[in-house]
Amino acid sequence: MNMTKTAILLAAMTALFMGIGFMIGGEAGAAIAFLIAAGMNVFAYWNSDKMVLRMHGAREVTERDAPNFVRLVQRLAENANLPMPRTYIIETAQPNAFATGRNPENAAVAATTGLLNMLTPEELAGVMAHELAHIKNRDTLTMTVTATLAGAISMLANFAFFFGNNRNNAGGLIGTLAIMILAPMAAALVQMAISRTREYSADQLGAEICGRPMWLASALQRIENGASRIDNDAAERNPATAHMFIINPLHAHKRDSLFSTHPATINRVAKLKAMAGMSSKEGPWG
């Protein structure tokens, strides 16, 4: 059901992209927009991990550089029956993490220095298990394609205002203005819906991978508290990638709170507590 919902939402985002193309150049503009969207998706498929990691200044580490972190990820990957992903560290004080890559064989996980310094080993295990769950669920490609399309829709909507030559059609200038304002909002709503669906699923599977739902629940509360107080400059410069993080990294600008790309942490924690209450056996870390 989640995959069907995600496919429908991605189709809606592509249709929105084509609609803006129509406002710019009529039927030909819509066709060109469709080709651009297809080309962007192909590009994102092959380059999603490199794009996002570069945006956030991530540095790849090995067991020699960060032995505890890399060994932790390796152990969790074994629990999840996944190939060992590449591991990265991002130099920022804000505690956060994300996963990226087109498939489990070409995946990467990244944690901030703030996360590594702030969390206990158990909480860190919960967070990285969550990120591995995104990889196992193949969310990483979907989330990166969504970020690419959302950013392109905002750019194209502004382009429509200055260069749209189809204003004589129904709606005219008013229609163009409406597209310029509403299209990015609609894209953000679709992005939000996709992210929220995937976050709940990754929380559940992540708790199963590490075996202790409360490790992740405790980590989410600690991360939210830190992320709300500490800026993440790279994320603020690239807000379309915010939904990839385990907790929304944006808070420095008022616009950041207009649309939340993540479920409320209190709701996520409640679901994890319910999982912990239903579990009657020790997990693989017990």
| 285 within domain boundaries | no
| 84 within domain boundaries | yes
| 284 within domain boundaries | no
pLDDT band at 282 (very low <50, low <70, confident <90, very high): very low
Tally of structural domains, the chain = 1
Residue 100 has pLDDT above 70, yes or no: yes
Share of the chain above pLDDT 90, in %: 47
Residue 167 has pLDDT above 70, yes or no: no
Residue 253: the pLDDT is 56
* b/e 210-219 (16+ beta carbons within 10 angstroms → b): bbbbbbbbbb
Residue 212 has pLDDT above 80, yes or no: yes
| 286 within domain boundaries | no
Instruction: Find the farthest-apart pair of alpha carbons in the chain and give their distance in angstroms, rounded.
Output: 68
| 48 within domain boundaries | yes
Task: Tell me the mean pLDDT in the region 214-243.
Answer: 92
Q: Tell me the average pLDDT of the chain.
A: 80
Residue 105: the pLDDT is 94
| 268 within domain boundaries | yes
Residues marked active site are found at 131
Residue 45 has pLDDT above 90, yes or no: no
Domain boundaries, position 148: 2-278
| 180 within domain boundaries | yes
Query: How are beta strands 97-101 and 59-61 bridged, if at all?
Result: unpaired
Residue 18: the pLDDT is 74
Could you tell me where the DSSP H helices lie in the chain?
A: 2-55, 67-79, 113-118, 121-136, 139-163, 172-210, 213-227, 233-237, 265-278
pLDDT band at 210 (very low <50, low <70, confident <90, very high): very high
Share of the chain above pLDDT 70, in %: 66
**Whole-prediction pTM:** 0.77
| 218 within domain boundaries | yes
pLDDT single digits (tens) 257-275: 444 668 899 999 999 999 9
